[in-house]
Amino acid sequence: MKQVAVITGAARGIGLATARKFLAEGWRVVMLDIDGETQDRAHRELNDPDNTLALQCDVSAPDQVATAIDAAVARFGRIDVLVNNAGIAIFSPVMETSFEDWSAVLATNLSGPFICTKACVPAMLAGGGGSIVNITSISGTRASTLRVAYGTSKAALMHLTKQLAAELGTQGIRVNAVSPGPVDTAMAKKVHTPDIRADYHDAIPLNRYGTEEELAEAIFFLGGDRASYINGTVINVDGGFAATGIGLASLRGAD
């Protein structure tokens, strides 16, 4: 029986590229996204109805997640990998960040992975084990302005990754995280102005944004059996961005 990956936030961006990667490697894919219309379009374009299932679902709503995971198990009979990729970014200074914005970011970026994990674990255990990949961010490692909610949610998701690895590892479920630097997706276009984009290019040793496909490669590796002894780890896929704490342009001799 083909292995099954559940991918949240799969309508576009990193989630959709990850769905493509798992399909190309012979897996079945369950796509979950709050934006049902965009996801249905992406699902049609994948053009692989036997191996894909697209379900509209808000990952921060436990009832919706439970219904979706029940439907996934009913359709494909197993869950091997969960990719907690759905996320939102609201960038604003702390004093202009409303409690509603703060709560919305934490609900999707932190509670979502918690809820989806709890929903998928029983099916993983029934199949003898599995693996979970949480998509965090370099914003969870390095603090910056405007990211009080987003950066905090991603830092907490890194710790949730370790908590889950400690507890679920003993039951045959590995839990790891992929931490992207800037990737040219709709989310990045929304929050990165031209100035921000230019500064990112300057601050990243590889001098460019990552691609969705580069993220999907790392996510697929961590999710699958080739990473069978990797548990509780965060892999940065960021062109070296997180490594360059004092990467001042003047020190590097840049213009």
Catalytic member of 150, 200, 209, 229: 150
Least distance from ligand NDP to the Cβ atom of residue 242, Å: 11
Cβ nearer to ligand NDP, comparing 126 with 186: 186
Helix then strand then coil, in percent of the chain rounded to 5, is 55, 15, 30
Least distance from ligand NDP to the Cβ atom of residue 65, Å: 9
**Token code pair at residue 204:** 């990243």
Cβ nearer to ligand NDP, comparing 28 with 154: 154
The strands making up 81-84's β-sheet, listed across from edge to edge, are 52-56, 28-33, 4-8, 81-84, 130-135, 173-180, 234-237
Residue type, 190: K
Q: Determine how many CB atoms are found less than 10 A away from the CB of residue 134.
A: 29
Least distance from ligand NDP to the Cβ atom of residue 170, Å: 27
Residue type, 231: N
**Residue 235: strand pairing partners:** 178
Least distance from ligand NDP to the Cβ atom of residue 163, Å: 18
Least distance from ligand NDP to the Cβ atom of residue 210, Å: 8
Cβ nearer to ligand NDP, comparing 78 with 142: 142
Structure letter (DSSP) for residue 92: B
User: Whole-angstrom Cα distance, residue 218 to residue 208?
Assistant: 18
Give the residue from 136, 135, 138 showing the smallest Cα distance to 205. 138
Cβ nearer to ligand NDP, comparing 77 with 217: 217
Cβ nearer to ligand NDP, comparing 172 with 205: 205
Structure letter (DSSP) for residue 109: I
Tell me whether residue 229 is one of the annotated catalytic residues.
no
Q: Name the site residues for ligand NDP (rule: CB under 6 A).
A: 8-9, 11-15, 33-35, 38, 58-60, 85-89, 108, 112, 135, 137, 180, 182-183, 185-188
The pairing of strands 4-8 and 52-56 is unpaired
User: Whole-angstrom Cα distance, residue 220 to residue 155?
Assistant: 22
Give the active site residues: 150
